Amino acid sequence: ATPMSIMVATGRGANAGVLIRDAEALERFARVDALIVDKTGTLTEGKPTLTDAEPAEGFDEAELLSLAAALERGSEHPLAEAIVAGAQDRGAPVKDSSDFEAVTGKGVTGMVEGRKVALGNAALMADLSVEPGKLAERAGALQAEGKTAMFVAVDGRPAGLVAVADRIKETTPGAIRALHDLGLRIVMATGDAEATAMAVAKELGIDEIHAEVSPEDKNALVRRLKEEGLSVAMAGDGVNDAPALAEADVGIAMGTGADVAVESAGITLVKGDLGGIVRARKLAEATMRNIR
C-alpha cells in the first residue's frame, strides 16, 4: 500500500478508537483468516459479579461467603474481587486468612481461623483430593447458564460453591456476526470451564472453543493454527494473553486491559469494543484493494 493510503486508514482507525501500530499490522490484518478471542474481558465485560452461594450440608451461606472472601482478599484475580464484593454486599463478616497461596489457573488456598480452606475449580479440588459429590452436578447447572462456578473446601471436605457471572459486552454479538460474514474463522479460548465456555459460545454463534486453557496453551493454539497455514489474529485483554498476542500474526489488545497486552499488540481497541475489529478489517481490506 502507498504510505498515503496507510496514513488515511490509520487516521480513520484512530478517530474511531482503533489504534493500528504500523503499515505492517494493517497489511497483515487484511490477510488474517482466523481470529482467536479470549472470553473474559474480551467477549465479556470482564467485571464478574457474584450470583450464587450454595452451602453444602453443615454450612450456611454467610459462613461459606466469609471463608471464600477471607481467602480471595489476598488475590488480584477478577473472580476474587467479585467474591469479596459479593460477600460484603450480602453482609457476610469478613475474616482474615494466612498462608495464602494462589494456584495459577485453578484457584486459591489458605488458612482461616485454623481451618484449611481452598477455593477454585474442579482441577484444584482434584489436586487436593476433595470429592465434590453432589456439588459437581450443581456446578454443571450453573455453568450451563454461562456462569463460572467455584468449589469451596474446608479441611478437605466440600463446603459449598459460589458462582459469578460476567455479562457479554453489548457490542459483542453484532461484531461476531459481522466478522463471520467477512469470512473469518472465530475461535474462543478461555481458562474457564468447558460448560461455561460452551454456554457463552452458543449465545454468540461461535462454534469452535478451547476451554480450560493456560496462557501457554493459548500460545500453542496460535502456533498450531499458523502451522495449519492460517494467518492468525488473537484478541485478548490480560497479562495472561500477552504471549499469545505476541505470537499471533496480529495481536489485538483491549485498551481497557493490561498494559503488557497493549505493548504486545499490533492493533489496540481503545474502548475495548469488538466492533473495532470489524472496522479495522474493513479499513485493512479497503487499503489493500486500492493498491492492487
Q: Which of the residues are catalytic?
A: 38
Q: Give residues 236-255 in contact with Mg ion (rule: CB under 5 A).
A: 238
Side chain identity, residue 276: G
Span from 3-11, 48-56, 102-110, 263-271 in contact with ligand ADP (CB under 6 A):
102-110
User: Grid coordinates in use for 60?
Assistant: 450456611
Span from 23-31, 58-66, 73-81, 109-117 in contact with ligand ADP (CB under 6 A):
73-81
* 97 is a site residue for ligand ADP (CB under 6 A): no
Which run of H or of E encompasses 171?
A: none
Q: How far apart are CA 133 and CA 264, in angstroms?
A: 43
For Mg ion, give the closer residue by CB, 160 or 238. Answer: 238
Strands (E), the chain: 18-20, 34-38, 49-55, 98-103, 107-112, 115-120, 148-154, 157-165, 185-189, 208-210, 232-236, 250-254, 267-269
* 222 is a site residue for ligand ADP (CB under 6 A): no
Q: x/- binding map, residues 95-134, to Mg ion, per CB under 5 A?
A: ----------------------------------------
Number of H helices, E strands in the chain: 12, 13
* 69 is a site residue for ligand ADP (CB under 6 A): no
For Mg ion, give the closer residue by CB, 48 or 55. Answer: 48
Q: Give residues 244-273 in contact with ligand ADP (rule: CB under 6 A).
A: none
Side chain identity, residue 87: A
Q: How far apart are CA 151 and CA 143, in angstroms?
A: 12
Judged by the rule CB under 6 A, the positions of this chain that interact with ligand ADP are 40, 72, 75, 77, 79-80, 105-108, 119-121, 148, 150, 190-192, 238, 240
